[in-house]
A and B are shown apart, each in its own frame.
Chain A
């Protein structure tokens, strides 16, 4: 068992005041290839138990979008040993909570219960890794539920509809261009067999990660994991995750999305950007800090200062980048212009701010504040074992190792303004961008 004693030491205001916070992380593999991570937090007798599959929507076969997420729903139905809803009911009778989530790269299931019941939730979670039964009736009803979910989250929301189109335009060939919930016309044609095939192939211990966080001892977790998950057979047919890749982007792409439900016009600019890779996180660290410099901290940020504070051209600005992704991820800029400013004008302003940044460099003081906030975040993060578990799960299913997660905070600290500027120059190339205008359709006179 590998045990990391993860000390966070930081210095403040150049005085020799310092403090230490510690989180014990242990990690090991079962004989069948299942990875286990234990995060100790003994402040309250509570445990979060999670199983993450290294399979998400981007692993679906062409034409079968939505299968990964629909399967996630069906895991709450019956197995050979357990009746429909019994697991959730059991967790509820303990006062616990449970749920699940699907992304492009992973599918995760969790329960949060009193630490006395770890064994019990493990029994059920291990059971549904192999013994799921999908009846035709459950399949049909749950497909309806998923369509309602799509109606609610995507089709009722113009921003979500735009995001779907935006991703489809950004990724011409890679499956990140296909929505996690599935295209509506493909959902309508999914079959029970599609879901069963997906389940049989991907739900196996050598494709899963167990994360246990809270008031637990790693030795005990190891014994229980061996007992419940250790006896499940591995799937030797699983191959490396190799997905179609993007051709080089040679021309800028533009979207004009019009919907009468849009209240406020806005602009989104998106670029494909490298993600965090194991042993190679520097580029992602630079993009992370670049996004913070441009978008976080309100009017301190470059976009906020130039467009909201000085220029009064925008009422809201932000920048997003998330490096936890199996394949190339993306970097987005968002600007909501003031009433009297057109989308065309705000795009010119946005380009001006980006060019100025590339020419004039970075505000070092702002960068130092951002880096210090990341140091503090290492302490604040220890307040929630649940969030820590999610952080590890998302990273480990995106091709990263425990060592990479632990190294990430210092990787961020080692990046300087030269690295960030270099990353920005690489990123901000108009021919490699997608620009979206979201607005209400012009009024048509009858």
Chain B
């Protein structure tokens, strides 16, 4: 028998400074001098939901072109200059935000700032780069049409979000992409990167004054927003099952129920419930019932997905065509079981321990910390949240979970999309 002694509590003891540039842009800084580099994360609210219907895909297209030439540098010169100082700039766009992840060595800060500023404010949209990237995007659109997971996901969103942009692919389709002109890209740029809609975190080898100066330099020519953010998305749930034929030995299953808002007072109850039902790791109920006991899948998971204007309770797994109907039966049974009976005190205790213990482990590495801090601001959380978050988890009772489970999961006909050649459905 082993006994383990002396376990000290661990807190995420980050010294986060809240600073403001002279143009009024707020940001968070963690000075971490042990490694000579700086990690910068920016999230601009809006994302591909700012697209117009008729030019769907413009914002994603524009984002792909941010690293393809800016200021006096064409695509080739820009990438050479960036690599010459071993800086890394990643531009990514999602349904509600455009994110910029930059990483550069301390000594190269002035040059890195200049290159990044140009990429953010003076993209060239040269014809050469535009046509080259246009072909790449169309290739991805065509590939998605043949990818069973993408097919399932896209059908699920189509069923759920009737005429909101969430229902369509962020990449647009072949027709809209081929129709996009340089002016459309310029407009997409103007409505996607705005100084009054950005959340910023900096972690690394840089002090307060230098950080402020760097951001003033970076954002000097970033305009304020002119286009309103989109409104709430109308959505439809509990539409039953839809099967799409696809040649594969395995069926892909995506399903959704209505989710819950992050700001809802029962959100944390749902968060803990999700962990027990289908959260990460090998020990969720769905993993146990569908994988561990019966070997029907390699992996099954669920998540409380948050969009700015809608909330889903999404899940997915893949199972052999001949076994998928059994797996779906078990899934339905487990969801209803959770709705009717909630969780046991033992399960709650286990989930609580995991969620509380895992939280400080996230704060590991400059790049990871910068991403978390930018996300927190994007979600409207204060920096004190880091200290209070585990208290919220600790306070949850199994009766709270039972209530939220009943509310979220009491639907036998929740929407399921199956892509494959399933037997017996």
Contacts and interface: CB of A to CB of B under 8 A. Distances in A.
Interface string A231-275: 000000000000000000000000000001111100000000000
Nearest to B294: A141
A229 to B, nearest CB: 15
Given A336-B139, A383-B367, A21 B36 contact: yes
Contacts of A260: 247
Given A113-B361, A148-B320, A380 B247 contact: no
A329 interface: no
Nearest to A300: B79
A333 B253 CA distance: 34
B295 A95 contact: no
Interface string B304-340: 0000000000000011100000000000000000000
Interface string B1-43: 0101011101000000000000000000000101111010000
Nearest to B366: A383
Contacts of A163: none
Nearest to B327: A148
B357 A261 contact: no
Contacts of A375: 86
A12 interface: yes
B107 interface: yes
Nearest to B365: A383
B296 interface: yes
A43 interface: yes
Interface size class of A (residues with CB under 8 A): 35 or more
B423 interface: no
B318 A156 contact: yes
Find the residue from B143, B297, B361 having the highest chain A CB count within 10 A. Answer: B361
Contact of A93 (B2, B107, B353, B367): B353
B359 A95 contact: yes
Interface stretch (A116-124, A194-202, A353-361): A116-124
B363 A338 contact: no
A315 B142 CA distance: 13
Interface size class of B (residues with CB under 8 A): 35 or more
B71 to A, nearest CB: 18
Contacts of A370: 83
A144 B296 contact: yes
A155 interface: yes
Contacts of A89: 283, 350
A366 B76 CA distance: 11
Contacts of B142: 263-264
B291 to A, nearest CB: 6
A276 to B, nearest CB: 23
Given A96-B358, A97-B281, A379-B37, A116 B83 contact: no
A373 B350 contact: no
Contacts of B265: none
B55 interface: no
Contacts of A372: 83-86
A95 B353 CA distance: 6
Contacts of B252: 156
Contacts of A152: 250, 298-299, 318
Find the residue from B6, B32, B85 having the highest chain A CB count within 10 A. Answer: B85
Interface of B: 2, 4, 6-8, 10, 32, 34-37, 39, 75-76, 79-80, 83-86, 103, 105-108, 128, 132, 135-136, 139, 142-148, 247-250, 252, 280-283, 291-299, 318-320, 350, 353-361, 363-367
26 contacts: A19-B36, A43-B364, A45-B10, A93-B350, A95-B356, A96-B358, A97-B281, A144-B295, A145-B291, A148-B298, A152-B299, A156-B249, A297-B79, A297-B83, A300-B80, A309-B128, A315-B135, A315-B136, A338-B135, A365-B80, A372-B84, A379-B36, A379-B37, A380-B37, A383-B366, A384-B365
Given A92-B283, A148-B319, A308-B132, 17 more contacts: A19-B107, A44-B363, A95-B358, A97-B280, A114-B361, A120-B2, A145-B298, A148-B297, A153-B298, A156-B248, A263-B144, A264-B143, A299-B76, A309-B76, A316-B139, A372-B84, A372-B86
